[in-house]
């Protein structure tokens, strides 16, 4: 007897989405599907046709106000469980090869102490970062995609004193912290019902009107860098992530992104502003052994207008995050 039951919602991805150990799902046109567990990618022995991938893509986007078609071949959205889905289709991809990538909302660490237990952070570095957050330092978290930047941001936010007002700006809600006074905002594409686009720049500007003690930008990757720097230069502290190859590179990229905001923005001005508002840069890496804090820098008063002066506080050497500062290690070390 031929079954007439409707296919399961999300098709073969349903079981992968339900698996709590899977962090990311990558579908390449149905011909190959990869999953990421504990930072390690593996191939799933499943092959489906293009029509099935298309049906699953439509189901993933149902209720989000977004759709993927030839007019909008690149779409990002959020699933009900908080997972982030990114879909690319023709004409950006091959005509029969729609791609789906889902970064699941997986809580991998509860707080800084949890990161210490996982050897992602040393006890001394955790104490220093805890003190820095409570003292309203501005922290830039850098690393490659999937390195654990958002996890670290969530852990840092749990150290924010309860009397502080926090306003977050994200493309998709990924920050998951229960603070007494926190407003969360996310961007919006031009929707199917004609709703206007709301950009990250719009959110950062709006955040400054909400009397924040700390502004959090989920990911800086464009001209919103300037708006963030101006907001932080107005007296509040900040916390942001950025894609970069090192802690020093993160500072240079922040300058580069600021330049994108307009022709009249000079590089010397941006360098001075970055140095004035950023206190600490934390660089995280993903390796076969897991996700770890690789380097922590302090950004002291600058000596050269053309080169960032930084002080290395911690660096991972031989698998261990070690104190590299000139003064004795302490929770107040970030001020040196």
What per-residue confidence (pLDDT) applies to 81?
79
* pLDDT band at residue 3 under the 50/70/90 scheme: very low
Is the peptide bond prior to 91 cis by the omega test (within 30 degrees of 0)?
yes
The structural domains of the chain, ordered by start, are: 13-103 (3.30.450.90), 112-335 (3.40.50.300)
Tell me what pLDDT residue 5 has. 43
Q: What is the pLDDT of residue 111?
A: 93
pLDDT tens track for 28-57: 988 899 998 877 889 999 999 989 999 999
pLDDT digits (tens, 9 = 90+) for 174-194: 898 999 999 999 988 766 555
Residue 146 has pLDDT above 90, yes or no: no
Decide if pLDDT at 296 tops 50: yes
- Supply the pLDDT for residue 4: 40
DSSP per residue over 68-133, as a string?
Answer: -SSSS-EEEEE-TTS-EEEEE-TTTS-TT--EEEEE------SSHHHHHHTTSS-HHHHHHHHHHH
Q: What is the pLDDT of residue 202?
A: 94
CA 142, CA 221: separation in Å to the nearest integer?
11
The single-letter DSSP state of residue 226 is: H
Q: Which pLDDT value is given to residue 156?
A: 97
Helix (H) or strand (E) holding 183: strand 182-186
96 vs 126, higher pLDDT: 126
Tokens of residue 246, six digits = 């090192």
Confidence (pTM): 0.85
251-271 tens-digit pLDDT: 999 999 999 988 788 888 999
Torsion of CA 158, 41, 315, 332, to 10 degrees: 0
pLDDT in tens, 9-30: 888 999 999 888 898 999 998 8
Q: pLDDT > 70: what percent of the chain?
A: 94
Residue 253 is predicted with a pLDDT of 95
Residue 145's pLDDT is 87
pLDDT digits (tens, 9 = 90+) for 218-235: 999 999 999 999 999 988
Averaged pLDDT of the chain: 89
Residue (of 28, 59, 54, 55) closest to 41 by Cα position: 28
pLDDT at 254: 95
pLDDT given for residue 191 in this prediction:
61
Predicted confidence (pLDDT) per residue in 60-90, tens digit: 998 877 888 888 889 888 888 778 899 999 9
């Amino acid at each position: 007897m031929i079954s007439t039951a409707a296919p399961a919602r999300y098709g073969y991805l349903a079981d992968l989405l339900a698996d709590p150990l899977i962090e990311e799902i990558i579908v390449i046109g149905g011909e190959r599907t990869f999953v990421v567990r504990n930072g390690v990618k593996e191939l799933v022995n499943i092959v489906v046709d293009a029509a099935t991938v298309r049906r699953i893509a439509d189901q993933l986007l149902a209720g989000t106000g977004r759709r993927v078609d030839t007019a909008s071949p690149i779409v990002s959205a959020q699933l009900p469980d908080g997972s982030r889905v990114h879909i690319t289709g023709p004409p950006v991809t091959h005509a029969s090869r729609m791609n789906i990538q889902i970064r699941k909302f997986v809580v991998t660490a509860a707080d800084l102490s949890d990161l210490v237990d996982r050897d992602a952070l040393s006890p001394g570095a955790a104490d220093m970062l805890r003190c820095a957050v409570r003292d309203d330092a501005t922290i830039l978290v850098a690393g490659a995609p999937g390195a654990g930047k958002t996890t670290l941001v969530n852990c840092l936010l749990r150290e924010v004193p309860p009397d502080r007002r926090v306003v977050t700006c994200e493309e998709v809600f990924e920050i998951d912290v229960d603070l007494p006074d926190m407003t969360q905002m996310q961007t919006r594409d031009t929707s199917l019902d004609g709703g206007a686009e709301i950009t990250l720049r719009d959110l950062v500007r709006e955040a400054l009107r909400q009397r924040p003690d700390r502004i959090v930008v989920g990911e800086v990757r464009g001209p919103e860098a300037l708006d963030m720097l101006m907001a932080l230069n107005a007296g509040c502290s900040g916390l942001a992530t950025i894609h970069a190859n090192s802690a020093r590179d993160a500072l240079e990229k922040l300058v580069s992104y600021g330049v994108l905001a307009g022709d009249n923005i000079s590089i010397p001005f941006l360098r001075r502003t970055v140095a004035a508002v950023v206190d600490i840069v934390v660089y995280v890496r993903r390796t076969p052994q897991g996700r770890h804090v690789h380097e922590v820098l302090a950004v002291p008063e600058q000596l050269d207008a053309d080169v960032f002066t930084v002080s290395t506080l911690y660096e991972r050497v031989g698998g261990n995050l070690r104190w590299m500062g000139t003064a004795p290690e302490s929770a107040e070390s970030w001020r040196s």
